[in-house]
Structure 1
Amino acid sequence: MMKKGFDPQKYIEEQSKFILERVHNYDKLYLEFGGKLIGDKHAKRVLPGFDEDAKIKLLAKLKDDAEIIICVHAGDIEKNKIRGDYGITYDMDVLRQIDELRGYGLIVNSVVITRYNGQPSTKLFINKLERRDIRVYKHSAIEGYPSNIDKIVSEEGYGKNEYITTTKPIVVVTAPGPGSGKLATCLNQLYHEHRHGRAAGYSKFETFPVWNVPLKHPLNIAYEAATVDLKDVNMMDYFHFEKYGQVAVNYNRDLEMFPVIRRIIEKITGKESVYQSPTDMGVNRVGFGITDDEVIREASKQEIIRRCFATECDFKKGIIDEEILSRMMLIMEELELKKEDRRTVGPARKYSERLREHAGSNDVPAVIAFELPDGRIITGRSSSLMDSCSAAILNSIKKLANIGDEIYLLSPVIIETIQNLKRRDLHSRITALNANEILIALSIGAVTNPTAQLAIEKLSELKGVQAHSTVMLNKDDEQILRKLGIDVTSDPVYPSENLYYV
């Protein structure tokens, strides 16, 4: 079991206190939330002990004073951009976030469509929102943004975009992912607030990079690995050092944009900006929650390896270009990391190689290895009955429940009946049961089989398990493993030569 290196309660207390101190300087504070507001799995992995829903729980503490605006870029809707950790499009993630936020008792003010130009798919999404009584605002791109400040801060710039009516002193601006227009929305609101004679301010809540952790700390390098497709690079905040003589870490996009943001704020308010650096603009206190630096370092290195596998798979699928892959390999070399440093990689590959030699084939047999909380490695392989994920899940929960290998959790007759259904009635070419089908069959069997019930009760203990597959998994299995809380990586190998049935 991985040791904890982070105190989530201390973090929430420190963070909420700091936000409230910032709010007291204004009638209204627009707080740009970077990263994931709900389900921040990257933070959970690199900061063992971090609550992946810490940000939303923090906001729940402030719910009497806060409301939320969700931004989404029209271009991302048109491209059906996918949020990787959930496997859903950005427009669907907006709906998911609204449901989650309401579940915490938080007020969702509206959805803002940024850089809107009448795109067809976006129009349909707007209709869907409005017919569910969700307010929608449409902001168009501003010509010359962000360099033409005179035009931006004018009736032809922010003045053309709609003002979002808000009532709370804290307005959180969030989005499904980067590039959604959160900053532009905040500054647009500042423009309109000051035109109405209200003192409004802007701050940024960005968890990574951690400003008070060294530049080359694995925790900050893990952020570069997570954003390798965005080409983010951590840098020393030279504005902060020049003003205060204090070393702080930020990243290239914020440093590049800071002079422009400061000039825009000064032009809006007619006063010198209170912020002297990008670090000044932030309200990030995550570094103060770290309790064991060595634990954080090791967890961050493991996350970098995980990101390396994900990048290789994306390259194999044609999603990213070679430049991004090369950048990831440089990050691995910088910390002298090897993919085999992930404990599940070796056992999965060795078992797959034994199967390949036995079969006398050049194909890579699908094998997945799980590292259980107590350190045991459990493997599963694909067969004519079930895929490797299904086998590994069944093998693991049997071990956790101390059920002998020779005991069947599922009758072969049940598996054969499901396969016949898939083959005969559903006309599927792939009849081996996937993880979802196996778990449904196991749940049904548990009604009359006490042994199956004993095993299924152990599923919750798979949360936090590390896994590695010798082939790339299909989306259904990836989603099941994710829902079980299993962190899986894959070698960049297709499971078969089929172009569609993969």
Structure 2
Amino acid sequence: MKIGFDNEMYIERQAARIRERVEEFGGKLYLEFGGKLFDDYHAARVLPGFEPDVKLRMLKSMVDEVEIVQVINAGHIEKNKLRGDLGITYDEDLLRLRNIFIDLGFYCGGVVLTQYEGQPNATAFIHRLENMGIPCYRHKTISGYPYDIEHIVSDDGYGQNEYVKTTRPIVVVTAPGPGSGKMATCLSQLYAENMRGVKAGYAKYETFPVWNLPLDHPVNIAYESATVDLDDVNAIDPFHLEAYGISSVNYNRDIEIFPVLKAMLEKMLGESPYKSPTDMGVNNIAAAIVDEEAVCDAAKNEIVRRYFQCAVKALRTGMGENEAKKALFLMNKAGVNVNLSPAHSAALLRAETSGGQAGAMVLPDGRIITGKTSTLLNASSSVLLNALKAQAGIDDATYVISDAALEPICDLRTQQLGHRNPHLHPSEMLIALSTSSLTSPLAKETIAHASELRGCDAYFSSIIPTEDERLFRTLGINVCCEPRFDVAHSLMY
């Protein structure tokens, strides 16, 4: 797979830009981190070569200057909001990330609960944090937010929030997901620092959209596709264009809120250091793109994947039909369609010829392999096993899983768990393959190639089980399913 992004160049330039911004504000910067600070798999998919933890590595290069403050919306805790890509709640993800940060040597300060109004689950989480020795700060909902500037920037507004004690020049403010209140936390801290006579500033670390790529660049369209549920829309920043005569890209929420943010900064600092929302950013993504064609190809594939995800979600839940329509519009805008990946048509053809659910995968060298539902394997398992054998150079007709490994698993499924067929899911197939590897060199060679499938695209003729999708995600394989149920097959589970 082509590499289109230089991580080391990105780390060097991004760290230098952040240090410059710290100096511009007199030695202290509250840095709002948009998107994923850790495991940014969207960026890794649209910028081939981008390592999911590169932003964390960048901060690691100046670890002694950085303090991390985590923010979570009390309402999200109350509703048990899930992080879609990992399937865990925001509060659990906050603690997961905190452990990762600490293990990597970062100093983690407190946790801020925004829009806290005494919600029971949020209160329980506060007690949990306190019992763990983690400082916790409550920021209440401010009436008139964000437009009543006089009230917000006052003792009755930001002044009612608990002051978060920080000790480092760069305070990274991050959260498990969007809508957590990162910007409000930063501005509340700016107000508190100003009242204490401390010079401090605010900036945004927003990976997407990329401000100095064209509005209709596939990378920026892919960002819109990824956020159709948030109604984010990329747009030319009119404030930047007016101030500098330079066309730059931002998204609608930042553009819409900028006049309010500018007014807040003027009230707190006397004048706003920024003339546009683009000014607030410290984004050097474009400077580290080393292969434009590879990046464009990767972004286009991501746009198609997002369409399939939205279409399947709409079918599964009965909600999100407008999201699917917008994803289709963006796919057309990018000049691509559902057949962009050759695996899509290959999966449909295999399903038509086999009379059942089937799938296909594009291997790293461009080969297309297929698989179908068989006597012992479901379509997901068949595709995965055939891909592993192809990578290992083992003929598709060669058996690599022993009967001794298969029999107890099949028996467990049908006799003990009550399934109506013995079809193994990918996780069960891998267990059988691993067991077989104890005595079979072929099985051992087959499973040794699992990591080589990371980043590959797999398509299926109908929706596969959620547990199969989760396993593919763990392996780093991108999965798309035709938005339809395989009724005849699903009745057999």
TM-score (norm 2): 0.95
| Corresponding residue for residue 455 of structure 1 | 446
| Corresponding residue for residue 422 of structure 1 | 413
| Corresponding residue for residue 33 of structure 2 | 33
Deviations 1:297-339, CA, capped at 9 Å, x for gaps: 2221111111111111111122643322222222122223210
C-alpha contact 1:344 1:467 (8 A) present in aligned 2 = yes
Matches of 1:187 and 1:414 in 2, distance apart? 60
C-alpha contact 2:71 2:113 (8 A) present in aligned 1 = yes
How far the C-alpha of 1:115 sits from its partner, in A, is 1.1
Comparing 106-115 and 122-131, the one that deviates more: 122-131
| Corresponding residue for residue 324 of structure 2 | 325
How far the C-alpha of 1:239 sits from its partner, in A, is 0.7
Q: Could you list the runs of 5+ residues in structure 2 that have no partner in the other structure?
A: none
TM-score (norm 1): 0.94
Comparing 423-432 and 237-246, the one that deviates more: 423-432
Q: Which amino acid aligns with 1:306?
A: R
Comparing 169-178 and 406-415, the one that deviates more: 406-415
Matches of 1:350 and 1:45 in 2, distance apart? 27
How far the C-alpha of 1:457 sits from its partner, in A, is 0.9
Secondary structure, counterpart of 2:323 in structure 1:
helix
C-alpha contact 1:45 1:300 (8 A) present in aligned 2 = yes
Alignment CA distance shift 1:384-1:112 (3 Å)? farther
| Corresponding residue for residue 359 of structure 1 | none
Matches of 1:498 and 1:119 in 2, distance apart? 44
How far the C-alpha of 1:150 sits from its partner, in A, is 1.1
| Corresponding residue for residue 42 of structure 1 | 42
Alignment CA distance shift 1:233-1:302 (3 Å)? same
C-alpha contact 1:34 1:174 (8 A) present in aligned 2 = yes
C-alpha contact 2:357 2:489 (8 A) present in aligned 1 = no
Query: Does the alignment pair 1:469 with 2:460?
Result: yes
How far the C-alpha of 1:343 sits from its partner, in A, is 1.9
Alignment CA distance shift 1:334-1:156 (3 Å)? same
Matches of 2:225 and 2:181 in 1, distance apart? 23
| Mapping 1:179-190, distance limit 5 Å | 179-190=179-190
| Corresponding residue for residue 389 of structure 1 | 380
Aligned pair partner of 1:484 in 469, 475, 479: 475
Secondary structure, counterpart of 1:379 in structure 2:
strand
Alignment CA distance shift 1:377-1:214 (3 Å)? same
Alignment CA distance shift 1:384-1:406 (3 Å)? closer
How far the C-alpha of 1:27 sits from its partner, in A, is 3.0
Comparing 17-26 and 404-413, the one that deviates more: 404-413
How far the C-alpha of 1:283 sits from its partner, in A, is 0.4
Matches of 1:243 and 1:211 in 2, distance apart? 15
Matches of 2:491 and 2:191 in 1, distance apart? 51
Alignment CA distance shift 1:44-1:501 (3 Å)? farther
Q: Which amino acid aligns with 2:277?
A: P
Matches of 2:29 and 2:68 in 1, distance apart? 12
C-alpha contact 1:229 1:320 (8 A) present in aligned 2 = no
How far the C-alpha of 1:77 sits from its partner, in A, is 2.1
Deviations 1:436-485, CA, capped at 9 Å, x for gaps: 12222222221222211111111111111111112223232122111211
CA RMSD, 1 decimal = 1.9
Alignment CA distance shift 1:278-1:374 (3 Å)? same
| Corresponding residue for residue 100 of structure 2 | 100
Secondary structure, counterpart of 2:72 in structure 1:
strand
| Corresponding residue for residue 362 of structure 1 | none
Q: Which amino acid aligns with 1:313?
A: V
| Corresponding residue for residue 71 of structure 2 | 71
| Corresponding residue for residue 308 of structure 2 | 309
Alignment CA distance shift 1:501-1:30 (3 Å)? farther
How far the C-alpha of 1:173 sits from its partner, in A, is 0.6
Alignment CA distance shift 1:19-1:320 (3 Å)? farther
| Mapping 1:5-404, distance limit 5 Å | 5-25=4-24, 26-269=26-269, 271-318=270-317, 320-356=319-355, 365-404=356-395
Alignment CA distance shift 1:431-1:132 (3 Å)? farther
C-alpha contact 1:255 1:278 (8 A) present in aligned 2 = yes
How far the C-alpha of 1:498 sits from its partner, in A, is 9.6
Q: Which amino acid aligns with 1:285?
A: N
C-alpha contact 1:5 1:290 (8 A) present in aligned 2 = yes
How far the C-alpha of 1:127 sits from its partner, in A, is 3.1
Deviations 1:29-86, CA, capped at 9 Å, x for gaps: 0000001111111111111121221111011111101011111112222222222222
How far the C-alpha of 1:496 sits from its partner, in A, is 3.1
Aligned pair partner of 1:494 in 476, 485, 492: 485
Q: Which amino acid aligns with 1:338?
A: N
Matches of 2:422 and 2:156 in 1, distance apart? 60
C-alpha contact 1:27 1:198 (8 A) present in aligned 2 = no
